[in-house]
């Protein structure tokens, strides 16, 4: 596509619940613009947007993908930079990235199903990002489609600011442009047109005075007022379409062109609150919002240009890393298609191959720049599995494969749990993790097994006790001797001093105290109950004895460790488990089932409320009960519930469950022996 002036670019993300028709809409737009010579279909596996093997097999969008297409309107040619996003909850990180680099959000709502959990999630992301939005009521050609009912539900949740700009014509087969020059004859359409004109008048005192004076606003005045209302987020225009047949798509393109802001009209602030100049001759600025490993090109960094322009065969400065980078070429991505570009102005999204130092969320700018663009705020994982290779000896291939999938999807996290010694893969849900495993099998040639992770239990004490051990061993020649007396007591977490040397009179020589401390540190790694790490304990070594010949560092290390175990066992030890704080969004009809399920998981309800038409449950529950909660919540709510989770604190395990944990730990130790 030819280069386009900044003022003629409209950059927006297509958002909404899975199955609402986002991908069908982008396929129609691409075909209409001539970017693709045939109309793709997600159901038939021919979509230009859902083109990866994983997407074709599952018939859902998995990754956010940018598209750039020319749009011919009454005002001339414009360019749409569109980010097609997944609607499935497991891929919420892809949606967060799209919203961060879009100038507006276009929410697609199914005309039959109405608002769904994915719609609410998309709205909240746009609201938090402070970007304007529009709504497309799609699927008017379906049997159960009802534009008026969908509009009523939208206005009930998000208010009268959501006003229709187009609506189905009486008898179907066309849409009515409510903001156009022609006054609709239909009563409801006429009323909606009046509401739009009033909204336009409210954006300017002169227009309001003219309107109240009984003068008719010109089409240009109406369009300008509505455009200002959208930019100020006072108006959310609603459009009617049937993307599959193309009904209303031309009017949608006209409306988005007229109403959504151009990149230079909505300068985004950087992390320090400074606005970037979007003019092409201003200083360049771009954010890396996604990374792709292309099988032919290699590493591709997807960059949204926010300021100035990026140019092929030029040098930029990675402000985040403090490194210079050489841009060899710029690529515009349209599904599988990759087209070279010489320059990319603000609003465009380009892929840059083989940058040496650049990673996700880095800022690329001009030489000497110190400002950075605010990064994408990705959601925290809520589902985790322990990963092992199916084939022994594939550990290196596994590490490489996991690293690659995590680099392409930052909501996937890979870490080695130092306490359970398991390799943990965590993400937003079972579907996302299964896709990652399939992707790894296909591209890295490694197969894995997924298991429920072990809980990282801890131990502590609730009382004070004495501990003693004399290590004495004689087997000919030099023996081993070391004796330690100590006291253990609960320690406040804010007190960093965990060890006290209270030896007097040289009962333990000073040169052996480092060995004593080392023995204590090792002893705290495995408590007396389940062999879990011990925390929040104060250890005071107050007496002991030594032998002039037989005492050694090893002897005192052993004596200290055994004395500690003796003391911990007498100090009323308890087992601790991680408690997670969870925030659950569900429809009101699912409240009883969700709260009942939480009670079975030893959960505690902390509060309830409402948000954007959904019910919000704030609760706490043990991590041991939540490893598969993503799929369980989906089952309980019919796929309409979502949740967020974060670590809260460690808490004492109930005695009946602690007994089971200790028995399992004992059996595991016996099996190892």
Q: 489-501: b or e for each residue (b if 16 or more CB lie within 10 Å)?
A: eebeeeeeeeeee
Indicate whether 427 pLDDT > 60: yes
Rounded Cα distance between 84 and 80, Å, is: 12
CATH of domain 463-571: 3.30.230.10
Digit-coded pLDDT (tens) for 369-390: 999 999 999 998 999 999 999 8
Q: So what's the pLDDT on residue 443?
A: 80
**3-state helix/strand/coil string of 113-126:** CECCHHHHHHHHHH
187-201 vs 205-212: helix crossing angle, rounded to 10: 140
What kind of architecture, by CATH, is found in domain 577-656?
2-Layer Sandwich (3.30)
Fold classification of 285-365 (topology level): Elongation Factor Tu (Ef-tu); domain 3 (2.40.30)
Q: So what's the pLDDT on residue 566?
A: 97
Between 557 and 171, residue with greater pLDDT? 557
Q: So what's the pLDDT on residue 268?
A: 54
Count the alpha carbons within 13 Å of 365 in the hemisphere toward its beta carbon: 23
Fold classification of 383-451 (topology level): Alpha-Beta Plaits (3.30.70)
Q: Please give the C-alpha separations between residue 522 and each of 532, 533, 551, in angstroms, as whole numbers.
A: 12, 9, 20
Residue with tokens 């947007």: 49
Indicate whether 575 pLDDT > 80: yes
What DSSP assignment string belongs to 490-511?
A: E--TT----EEE---TTSS-GG
Digit-coded pLDDT (tens) for 182-207: 766 778 888 999 999 999 999 999 99
Q: So what's the pLDDT on residue 187?
A: 80
Indicate whether 403 pLDDT > 90: no
**3-state helix/strand/coil string of 430-473:** HHHHHHHHHHHHHHHCCCEEEECCCCCCEEEECCCEEEEEEEEE
* Mean per-residue pLDDT, 212-220: 91
Rounded Cα distance between 150 and 241, Å, is: 13
* Mean per-residue pLDDT, 536-563: 95
Cβ atoms of 78 and 40 closer than 8 Å: no
Cβ atoms of 284 and 305 closer than 8 Å: yes
pLDDT-derived band at 17 (thresholds 50, 70, 90) equals very high
Which CATH number is correct for 6-193+235-265, 3.40.50.300, 3.40.50.2300, 2.60.120.560, 3.40.50.720?
3.40.50.300
Q: What percent of the chain has pLDDT over 90?
A: 73
Residues making up the chain, counted from first to last:
673
Q: Please give the C-alpha separations between residue 648 and each of 203, 464, 515, 627, 651, in angstroms, as whole numbers.
A: 46, 27, 35, 15, 10
Q: So what's the pLDDT on residue 407?
A: 85
Q: So what's the pLDDT on residue 638?
A: 85
Listed in order, the ranges of the chain carrying CATH 2.40.30.10 are: 285-365
Cβ atoms of 46 and 52 closer than 8 Å: no
Q: What percent of the chain has pLDDT over 70?
A: 97
Digit-coded pLDDT (tens) for 444-486: 888 899 999 999 999 999 999 999 999 998 766 678 999 999 9
Indicate whether 272 pLDDT > 60: no
pLDDT-derived band at 172 (thresholds 50, 70, 90) equals confident
Listed in order, the ranges of the chain carrying CATH 3.40.50.300 are: 6-193+235-265
Listed in order, the ranges of the chain carrying CATH 3.30.70.870 are: 383-451
* Mean per-residue pLDDT, 242-252: 95
Rounded Cα distance between 250 and 245, Å, is: 12
Listed in order, the ranges of the chain carrying CATH 3.30.70.240 are: 577-656
């Amino acid at each position: 596509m030819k280069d386009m002036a900044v003022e003629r670019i409209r950059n927006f993300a297509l958002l909404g619940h899975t199955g609402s028709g986002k991908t069908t809409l982008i396929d129609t737009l691409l075909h209409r613009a001539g970017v693709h010579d045939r109309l793709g279909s997600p159901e038939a596996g021919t979509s230009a947007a859902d083109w990866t093997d994983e997407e074709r097999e599952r018939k859902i969008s998995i990754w956010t993908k940018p598209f750039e297409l020319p749009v011919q309107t009454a005002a001339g040619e414009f360019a749409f930079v569109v980010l097609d996003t997944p609607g499935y909850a497991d891929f919420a990180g892809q949606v967060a990235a799209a919203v961060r680099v879009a100038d507006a959000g276009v929410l697609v709502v199914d005309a039959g199903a109405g608002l769904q959990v994915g719609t609410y999630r998309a709205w909240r992301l746009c609201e938090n990002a402070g970007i304007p939005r529009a709504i497309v009521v799609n699927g008017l050609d379906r049997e159960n489609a009802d534009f008026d009912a969908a509009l009523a539900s939208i206005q009930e949740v998000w208010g009268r600011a959501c006003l229709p700009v187009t609506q189905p014509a009486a008898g179907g087969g066309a849409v009515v442009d409510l903001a156009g020059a022609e006054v609709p004859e239909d009563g409801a359409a006429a009323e909606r047109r009046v509401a739009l004109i009033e909204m336009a008048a409210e954006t300017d005192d002169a227009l309001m005075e003219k309107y109240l004076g009984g003068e008719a606003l010109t089409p240009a005045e109406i369009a300008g007022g509505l455009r200002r209302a959208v930019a100020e987020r006072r108006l959310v225009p609603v459009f009617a379409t049937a993307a599959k047949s193309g009904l209303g798509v031309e009017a949608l393109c006209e409306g988005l062109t007229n109403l959504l802001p151009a990149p230079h009209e909505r300068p985004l602030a950087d992390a320090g609150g400074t606005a970037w100049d979007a003019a092409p001759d201003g200083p360049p600025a771009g954010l890396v919002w996604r990374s792709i490993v292309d099988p032919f090109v290699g590493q591709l960094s997807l960059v949204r240009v926010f300021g100035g322009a990026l140019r092929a065969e030029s040098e930029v400065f990675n402000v985040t890393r403090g490194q210079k980078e050489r841009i060899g070429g710029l690529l515009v991505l349209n599904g599988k298609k990759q087209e070279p570009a010489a320059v990319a102005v603000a609003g465009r999204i380009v892929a840059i191959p083989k940058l040496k130092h650049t990673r996700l969320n880095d800022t690329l700018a001009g030489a000497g720049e110190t400002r950075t663009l605010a990064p994408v705020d990705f959601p925290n994982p809520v589902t985790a599995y322990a990963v092992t290779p199916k084939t022994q000896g594939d550990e290196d291939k596994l590490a490489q494969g996991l690293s690659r999938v995590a680099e392409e999807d930052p909501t996937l996290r890979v870490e080695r749990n130092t306490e359970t010694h398991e390799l943990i893969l965590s993400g937003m849900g079972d579907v996302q993790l299964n896709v990652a495993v399939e992707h790894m099998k296909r591209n890295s040639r490694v197969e894995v097994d997924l298991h429920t992770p072990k809980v990282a239990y801890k131990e502590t004490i609730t009382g004070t006790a004495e501990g003693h051990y004399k290590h004495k061993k004689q087997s000919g020649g030099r023996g081993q001797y070391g004796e330690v007396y100590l006291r253990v007591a609960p320690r406040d977490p804010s007190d960093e001093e965990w060890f006290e040397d209270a030896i007097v009179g040289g009962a333990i020589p000073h040169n052996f105290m480092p060995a004593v401390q080392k023995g204590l540190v090792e002893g705290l790694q495995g408590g007396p109950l389940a062999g879990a790490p011990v925390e929040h304990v104060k250890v005071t070594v107050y007496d002991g004895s030594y032998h002039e010949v037989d005492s050694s560092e090893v002897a005192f290390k052993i004596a200290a460790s055994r004395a500690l175990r003796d003391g911990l066992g007498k100090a009323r030890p308890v087992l601790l488990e991680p408690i997670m704080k969870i925030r659950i969004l569900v429809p009101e009809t699912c409240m009883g089932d969700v709260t009942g399920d939480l009670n079975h998981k030893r959960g505690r309800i902390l509060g309830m409320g409402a948000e954007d038409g959904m019910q919000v449950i704030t609760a706490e529950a043990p991590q041991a009960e939540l490893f598969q909660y993503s799929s369980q919540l989906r089952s309980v709510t019919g796929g309409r519930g979502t949740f967020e989770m974060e670590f809260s604190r460690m808490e004492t395990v109930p005695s009946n469950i602690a007994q089971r944990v200790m028995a399992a730990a004992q059996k595991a130790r016996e099996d190892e022996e």
